[in-house]
Amino acid sequence: MIVSFTAQLWQWDARRNDTWMFVTLPAGESQEIREHTAGPRRGFGSVRVRVTIGATTWQTSVFPEGEHYVLPVKRAVRTAEDLDVGDEASVRIELL
């Protein structure tokens, strides 16, 4: 299953010195993932995915957050794609 969307990067300060950045998957795409991955899941309800933003592809997980899933966007990707908080990113996610 593959979903594509555009979303804005947002920041979550997990700890005093750690800054995490995420994009939130749209409701429709989040629902599709829920339906496709029904049943027992990994820790925190995570779903393994392969992600592409721009020319960068990596493997990670998306995590449920209310009605949506959120995708962490690591620093190496943000640097390679010149992304910062508030920037829009075109995201392609493939479930693994």
At 4-45, the pLDDT tens digits run 999 999 998 766 566 789 999 999 999 999 988 876 666 678
Decide if 89 contacts 72 (C-beta within 8 A).
no
Would the pTM count as exceeding 0.95?
A: no
> What is residue 37's predicted lDDT score, i.e. its pLDDT?
85
Decide if 64 contacts 86 (C-beta within 8 A).
no
Question: Could you tell me the domains of the chain?
Answer: 2-95 (2.40.30.100)
Residues with Cβ within 8 Å of residue 93, at least 6 apart in sequence: 2, 3, 4, 25, 29, 49, 50, 51, 62, 71
> What is residue 21's predicted lDDT score, i.e. its pLDDT?
93
**Torsion angles phi and psi, residue 37, rounded to 5:** -115, 25
Q: How far is Cα 37 from Cα 56, in angstroms, rounded to an integer?
A: 25
